[in-house]
Amino acid sequence: MKTENQALFEKFHLLKSNAGTHSPSITTIKSELPELEIKVDACFLSNPYATELFLKYFRKELIDTGEINRVLEFYPSQNKEISQLVGGHLQIDPSRIFIANGATEIIQAIIHNFVKEKLLINIPTFSPYYEFALPHTEVIYYNLKKEENFRLDPDDYISFVKENKPHTIVLINPNNPDGGYLSHNEMIRLIQELAWVPNIIIDESFIHFAFENSSLELPSIVSMMDQFPNLYIIKSMSKDFGIAGIRCGYAIMPPDKVKQLLKTGYLWNSGGLAEYFFRLYTRKDFLKEYEEVRKKYITESLFFVTELGTIPKIKVYPTKANFVLIEILNGKSADEISTELLLNYGIYVRNCSDKIGLNGQFIRVATRYKLENEYIVKSLREVFHK
């Protein structure tokens, strides 16, 4: 490694260690390490075409009209007013909807308020699910097995749950960081057989990238909510709609839980832009265009993953999300490969060394624009042909 790269490398690792079990944001990297040129942010899990679509509406309806002034100056609507809107759109009783400042706020709200005793987490996972657990909560882990491509085996999982009797279970579908997917029917079977578990949390933050037929239709479990009073569905809007900076998400949960949360908090937790987004989210014109960019992005992601699969000395795990988990098979570590990609190619990937349940040989790579995907494939091919 060149000396200048060594210095950069050390600074970058310091930022990474300050960010805990998350990656330093692109904002932080740009402000702390301006000398580092990031060409492709493949750490960030987001549909860039959806961002463009949102920005088109944002510029036309808020900036060009001057309406933005009102959006930033005044208080946004209260939580339950926004849930009325979203409920109408989803055809779900608004009393079941909890509007939040990003999905992490929902995870915190549920884990802090409704999770008693044993919390079962599948690993590898999105770390806030266990990090947000309060001291009185016992966290137990179910290992997704590498030899089964980190895919959840419903029978084995059901036996594990029966044996360990957790109070709360969490199913992220598709799962982060591996992209493993439980089909709609498998999910229904799971929640039917586990109907006795007091809380079942299903995180559908990446469901917009999943599909079960060639018309790429959405297989969400939301329509089943009425039948299962123990379900909590969590939905981030950051990934599928490409608006992580706006912070919005929602959950669907039992009405008494929503009532309990709103009784003592979460009054004005949506910003003005989040409210604008939620209003767009209920509009036919926006959703028609969104559906096009969703399918375009999925199609490009499918091509990207197929191309990655032709690179030697890596294993590409099956995914139905907008990212892919890659195992490094050339003897190098994830630290080495992610640093090489960053410093020599300007490609920022997720080094998964800090993920419980993964050893130091895994990186996660997000799908981005078509040209960026091509650059990632070309660069990885170079790195692994050495």
Contacting positions for its own copies (CB under 8 A): 18-20, 22, 25-28, 41, 44, 46, 48, 51, 54-55, 58, 63, 68-78, 81, 101-102, 104-105, 108, 111-112, 128, 131-134, 238, 242-247, 263-275
CB of 61 to its own copies, least distance (A): 14
Distance (Å, rounded) from C-alpha 339 to C-alpha 347?
A: 9
**Which of 2, 112 has the CB closer to its own copies?**
112
CB of 279 to its own copies, least distance (A): 9
> CB under 8 Å to 86, separation ≥6 — which residues?
92, 94, 97, 99, 250, 278, 281, 282
**Which of 28, 159 has the CB closer to its own copies?**
28
CB of 17 to its own copies, least distance (A): 13
CB of 273 to its own copies, least distance (A): 7
CA of 156: how far to CAs of 123, 143, 172, 195, 358, in Å? 14, 11, 17, 17, 20
DSSP 303: H
**Which of 243, 363 has the CB closer to its own copies?**
243
Residues comprising the chain, all counted: 386
Sign of CA dihedral 110, 112, 116, 122: positive
CB of 148 to its own copies, least distance (A): 31
CB of 243 to its own copies, least distance (A): 6
CB of 92 to its own copies, least distance (A): 19
Q: Position 152: which residue type?
A: L
**Which of 269, 351 has the CB closer to its own copies?**
269
Residue found under tokens 């001057």: 66
> What angle, 0 to 180 degrees and rounded to 10, lies between the N-to-C axes of helices 103-114 and 255-263?
100
> CB under 8 Å to 135, separation ≥6 — which residues?
none
**Which of 245, 309 has the CB closer to its own copies?**
245
Specify the DSSP element, H or E, that contains 17: helix 3-18
Nearest to 238 by CA among 211, 262, 200, 273: 273
**Which of 34, 331 has the CB closer to its own copies?**
34
Distance (Å, rounded) from C-alpha 143 to C-alpha 327?
A: 17
CB of 13 to its own copies, least distance (A): 16
**Which of 43, 314 has the CB closer to its own copies?**
43
CB of 267 to its own copies, least distance (A): 5
**Which of 77, 173 has the CB closer to its own copies?**
77
Strands (E), 190-328: 199-203, 231-236, 249-252, 314-316, 323-328
**Which of 137, 353 has the CB closer to its own copies?**
137
DSSP string, 152-220: --HHHHHHHHHHH--SEEEEESS-TTT-----HHHHHHHHHHTTTSSEEEEE-TTGGG--SSTT-----
DSSP 321: S
